[in-house]
Structure 1
Amino acid sequence: MKIETCKKESFVVIGKEGATTDGAGFIQKLWDEANSHFGEIAHLAKKDEDGNISGIWGAMSDFSRSFQPWEGFQKGLYLAGVECNEDAKAPDGWTKWVIPGYEYIYVERENDNTFSEVIRYMKGNGIALAGAVHDFTCPKTGKGYIFFPIRKL
């Protein structure tokens, strides 16, 4: 597992929001809903210099919406969406989150154990989470990554 670091200033994600209290499989249901209605927000998606979508995010927050980690890594909010320009307004039925800027440790999602392996690595190296963890999918490669905030900017 290759662990890398980066800094990302505050950014906006517009997507479909749900909570762990919605029951098993709620994240997949959110993605199905977001993907089937993507045309409603496609024009809001932030683009790179080649005109490609910048990022697809599975953003997370605690229930207070303060972007702290999920309670026990088991209970919280999830937003299945796309990175948008900061002035974008969420259409009806969509939710806009403004995620604070952080320095992150990030890794490619290799398997179902990747999250727990990074948490173990962080504990072993005295690195604390500074906020909620986020899933990121690179539109160019289709690869999935997990972003662990380690310092607020």
Structure 2
Amino acid sequence: MKIERCVKESFVVIGKEGSTKDGAGFIQKLWDDANSHFGEVQHLAKKDEDGNISGIWGAMTDFSRSFRPWENFSDGLYLAGVECSDDAEAPDGWTKWVVPGYEYIYAERENDSSFPEVIKYLEENNIPLVGAVHDFTCPRTGKGYMYFPIRKL
């Protein structure tokens, strides 16, 4: 598994919000809802220099909404959405999160063991996890990544 580092300034995600308290399969239900109503937020999506959507995010936070890791990596809030311009406002039925800026370690999501492998890497290298892990899908390649915040900006 290839593990890389990057710095990402604070950014906005507008999406469909849910909670682990919503039961099994809640994340897939959020994505189904977000995808079936994407036209409502498509015009707000941040674009790259070629006009492509910049990023699709599965942003996460603890229940205090302070972007700390999920409790026991199993309880928290999830936002299935798209990266938007900073001044974008969420339409009715959508939620806007402003994700703080962090230095991240990130890795491609290869399989179900990717998350524990990166957590093990952080522990073995004495690198603290300082925030909630986010899922990122690159719209150009369709590849999925996990972003592990290791330093708040």
Normalised-by-shorter TM-score class: over 0.9
Match of 2:86 in 1: 86
- CA shift for structure 1 position 42: 0.2
Cα distance, 1:127 vs structure 2: 0.6
TM-score relative to the length of structure 2: 1.00
Tell me which stretches of 4 or more aligned residues in structure 1 moved more than 2 Å.
Answer: none
Q: CA deviation at 1:57?
A: 0.1
What is the distance in 2 between the residues matched to 1:52 and 1:3? 25
Computed over aligned residues only, the root mean square deviation of the Cα atoms, in angstroms, reads 0.3
Question: How many Å apart are 1:30 and its aligned residue?
Answer: 0.1
Paired-residue identity, %: 80
Q: Deviation digits for residues 43-83 of structure 1, max 9, x if unmatched? A: 00000000000000000000000000000000000000000
SS at match of 1:118: helix
Q: Distance in 2 between matches of 1:47 and 1:130?
A: 28
Matched residue SS, 1:78: strand
Aligned to 2:100: 100
Deviations 1:79-124, CA, capped at 9 Å, x for gaps: 0000000000000000000000000000000000100000011001
Which residue of 2 is the match for residue 139 of structure 1? 139
Match of 1:47 in 2: 47
Kindly provide the amino acid, as one letter, of the partner of residue 3 in structure 1.
Answer: I
Partner of 1:71: 71
What amino acid sits opposite 2:91 in the alignment? P
Cα distance in 2 for partners of 1:5, 1:124 equals 16
TM-score scaled to structure 1, two decimals? 1.00
